[in-house]
């Protein structure tokens, strides 16, 4: 049962007076390691929280409660016993991976995906698999098969996507860390919208998506969503123990900011009507963050965007259409399943049709994407970090990305909304979203920082500094407890 607290009943908070309290993953792991609390009671508390808020959030597609109760992670992982959830785009042995669609029936996986093995090597315990839009193609989960995944900050609004369910469960307090992946911003977009830390790492720092090596440009990156910078840092240090890419600088356990002062560039706003134009709340957050960085001693410079955003987006859409076409028409090869194309959503079909009509342009689009990416990387010859918005405008309400809309309309809205994140998927360079702003509706705004290839550590160190200078708002903060739905009991 949920008790609504007046006057505004739109916030969903799982935090309550149980063994989890308001701890992040690092504190929770320490409490387990020192035997202040036990793994079984931590798992039960997380399950109880999920049961209380998931009816409102609709973030779980598969409950792994019995699996979690029987799961025995290696006690050597630094996150041993910490509950988590896994996005339903990765395989877990014995369970289907439905990829957010109802157009085929997934068989139970015969083994974990490569990334799930790395993810769980930290000692994490999964209690469920989480929602995503169809094939993770759009930035909101509002599909017919799984329903609507709602934002715990305000259930009238989207969680973003495609790591929608993972973001909702971390933000609301069900779990402290969740798996996510990112093909055009799908870690960073929900992080920005739900007030979380979302790092898209350098390409190949983590184990990749199974089969992604067959793609001409490997744009999909695995990662996690957390509420604190130290949880992200701890996970990456543990993941590195499982697999280390010898071609990248080692991260180790980053625990504090660097003393190095950085050269940071951010963009002038584009004119109204142009792809990438920022609304007032978003642009003001950029300016405020620039001033904060200057006050911390960093050298900050505002520059003109060195590329045609509209052209970049169109090239990216051509490539995304290739991915959609492979799902829709080559599912026996890509998914080892028969696809009922009549059940696919309009946006998926529209992307696939776009590719089919322009398939001869794919090689040129890939070349153009790589050239633009190379030009963007040249900025790092002068600057250490590039700052942009995660999203061009504030969080939209549910229905803005409705699957009932035409493919053309969804495409237009998505392009206007998420103009800035896809470039880093092409370059493979690291990028992070940090919750440093709030819009006029009280919803979080993320600020996006990127660094040269391999320099993930620089972003984590900067994130520590910004988190200390401007602590991230949490849903359990007393000044936010006016408009909420809270669980009773527990």
Provide the annotated active-site residues. 87, 162, 186
Give CA–CA dist 152/215, Å, rounded.
35
105-128 burial: b if 16+ Cβ within 10 Å, else e: ebeebeebbbbbbbbbbbbbbbbb
Give CA–CA dist 193/171, Å, rounded.
10
The answer to whether the peptide bond before residue 162 is cis (omega within 30 degrees of 0) is yes
H or E element at residue 125: strand 125-130
Listed in sequence order, the DSSP H helices in 34-136 are: 39-57, 65-70, 114-120
Give CA–CA dist 359/211, Å, rounded.
21
Place of tokens 């440093």: 436
Identify which of 466, 471, 452, 467 has the alpha carbon closest to the alpha carbon of residue 293. Answer: 466
Give CA–CA dist 403/148, Å, rounded.
11
How many other C-beta atoms lie within 10 A of the C-beta of residue 89?
Answer: 27
Cα torsion angle, 462, 464, 469, 471, sign: positive
Q: In this structure, what are the phi and psi dihedrals at residue 301, rounded to the nearest 5 degrees? A: -135, 135
CB 429 within 8 A of CB 157: no
């Amino acid at each position: 049962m949920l008790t609504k607290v007046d006057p505004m009943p739109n916030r969903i908070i799982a935090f309550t007076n149980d063994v989890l309290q308001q701890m992040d993953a690092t504190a929770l792991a320490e409490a387990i390691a020192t035997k202040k609390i036990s793994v079984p009671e931590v798992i039960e508390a997380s399950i109880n929280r999920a049961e209380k808020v998931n009816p409102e959030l609709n973030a779980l597609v598969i409950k792994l409660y019995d699996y979690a109760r029987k799961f025995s992670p290696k006690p050597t992982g630094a996150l041993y016993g910490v509950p988590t959830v896994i996005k339903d785009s990765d395989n877990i042995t014995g369970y289907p991976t439905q990829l957010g669609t109802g157009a085929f029936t997934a068989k139970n996986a015969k083994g974990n995906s490569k990334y799930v093995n790395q993810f769980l090597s930290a000692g994490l315990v999964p209690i469920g698999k989480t929602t995503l839009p169809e094939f993770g193609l759009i930035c909101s989960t509002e599909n017919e098969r799984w329903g609507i995944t709602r934002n715990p900050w305000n259930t009238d609004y989207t969680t973003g996507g495609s790591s929608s369910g993972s973001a909702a469960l971390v933000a609301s307090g069900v779990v402290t860390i969740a798996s996510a992946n990112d093909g055009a911003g799908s870690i960073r977009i929900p992080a920005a919208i739900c007030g979380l830390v979302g790092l898209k790492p350098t390409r190949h720092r983590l184990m990749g998506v199974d089969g992604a090596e067959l793609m001409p440009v490997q744009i999909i990156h695995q990662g996690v969503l957390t509420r604190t910078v130290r949880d992200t840092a701890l996970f990456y240090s543990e993941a590195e123990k499982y697999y280390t890419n010898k071609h990248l600088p080692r991260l180790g356990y980053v625990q504090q900011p660097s003393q190095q002062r950085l050269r940071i560039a951010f963009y002038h706003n584009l004119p109204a009507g142009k792809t990438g134009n920022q609304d007032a709340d978003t642009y003001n957050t950029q300016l405020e963050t620039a001033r904060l960085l200057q006050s911390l001693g960093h050298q900050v410079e505002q520059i003109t965007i060195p590329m045609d955003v509209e052209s970049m987006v169109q090239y990216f859409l051509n490539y995304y259409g290739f991915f959609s076409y492979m799902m829709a028409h080559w599912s026996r090869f890509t998914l080892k399943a028969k696809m009922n194309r009549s059940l696919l959503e309009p946006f998926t079909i529209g992307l696939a049709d776009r590719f089919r009509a322009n398939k001869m342009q794919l090689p040129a689009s890939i070349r153009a994407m790589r050239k633009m990416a190379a030009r963007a990387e040249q900025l790092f010859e002068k600057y250490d970090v590039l700052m942009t918005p995660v999203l061009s405008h504030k969080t939209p309400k549910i229905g803005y990305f409705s699957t009932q809309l035409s493919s053309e309309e969804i495409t237009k809205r998505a392009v206007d909304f998420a103009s800035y994140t896809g470039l880093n998927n092409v370059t493979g360079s690291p990028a992070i979203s940090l919750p440093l702003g709030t819009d006029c509706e009280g919803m979080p705004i993320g600020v996006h920082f990127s660094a040269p290839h391999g320099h993930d550590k620089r972003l984590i160190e900067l994130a520590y500094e910004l988190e200390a200078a401007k602590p991230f708002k949490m849903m359990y903060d007393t000044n936010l407890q006016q408009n909420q739905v809270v669980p009773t009991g527990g």
